Every structure is written in C-alpha cells, then in structure tokens.
Copies of this chain bind each other. A is one copy, B any other.
C-alpha cells in the first residue's frame, strides 16, 4: 500500500511528534515535530527535516552545525500519530553537544546528569 504523508493523524497544529533513534545502537536521541511537508522532504532527501515550532520553518537537522541525521527508515505507530525515525546521527544530536537530548535521569527523587558533552 502506497504511503501518503497526509494519511498520518496530525494534531491541531498540523504536527506529529517524531522520535529519532540511532539505528545501530537503539539509543533514543531526541524528539521533534514534523508536518506533512517535513515528512515528505525527509523521505525524498534522506536528510531528516523537522518543523521548528519556535521558528515556524523547516529545520534540516544539522544544516548549520553539521550534526546531520541520515534517515535509515521511517516508521509510524498504530494510531498513525507518531513517527519513529531510524537514523545515523553525525556527532551530537543535542544542542548542548551531548549525544542525546535525554541526558538527565531522575534517581531517588533527584535530577542526575548521566551524559557529558562530547569533545
């Protein structure tokens, strides 16, 4: 069955959350948002392209930093309202220079940093 980006279930802002996961290791890198055109661009170019809610524009991940995400495979969930992107991440995914944005854990009620910035 042919895939149509419009067949996804977008929220009131026309967006779906997209989880980026490193294809080789399974590490969850970040979550950002896509509209239908960002889904289309990502599939067409193989370069992961989000929709920036703050800048209200396309956000080709790594376009300025070089920390690009190469799409390995796009998947979606049973409700068609969330994407899982298998990617190959160059360098850090996080703007703090950490590999993943999820570098803070809650342990015994305390916030604990579990990942250092990359060199």
Chain A contacts to B: CB under 8 angstroms: 1-3, 17, 19, 21, 25-28, 30-31, 43, 73-79, 82, 84, 94-96, 98, 101-107, 109-111, 114
A114 vs B84: C-alpha distance in the bound complex, in angstroms? 13
A21 vs B109: C-alpha distance in the bound complex, in angstroms? 21
- Residue of B1, B79, B105, B109 near A101 (CB, 8 A) is B79
Judge whether A102 and B114 touch: CB under 8 Å: no
Judge whether A19 and B31 touch: CB under 8 Å: yes
A1 to chain B: closest CB distance in Å? 5
- Residue of B84, B94, B104, B111 near A28 (CB, 8 A) is B84
Judge whether A25 and B26 touch: CB under 8 Å: yes
Q: Which of the listed residues A94, A105, A110 has the most CB atoms from chain B within 10 Å of its own CB?
A: A105
Judge whether B111 and A73 touch: CB under 8 Å: no
Judge whether A84 and B102 touch: CB under 8 Å: yes
What are 6 A-B pairs with beta-carbon distances under 8 A? A3-B106, A19-B19, A30-B77, A73-B106, A75-B104, A77-B94
Neighbouring B residues of A105 by C-beta, 8 Å: 73-75
- A43-B106, A101-B78 known; A28-B17 Cβ under 8 A: no
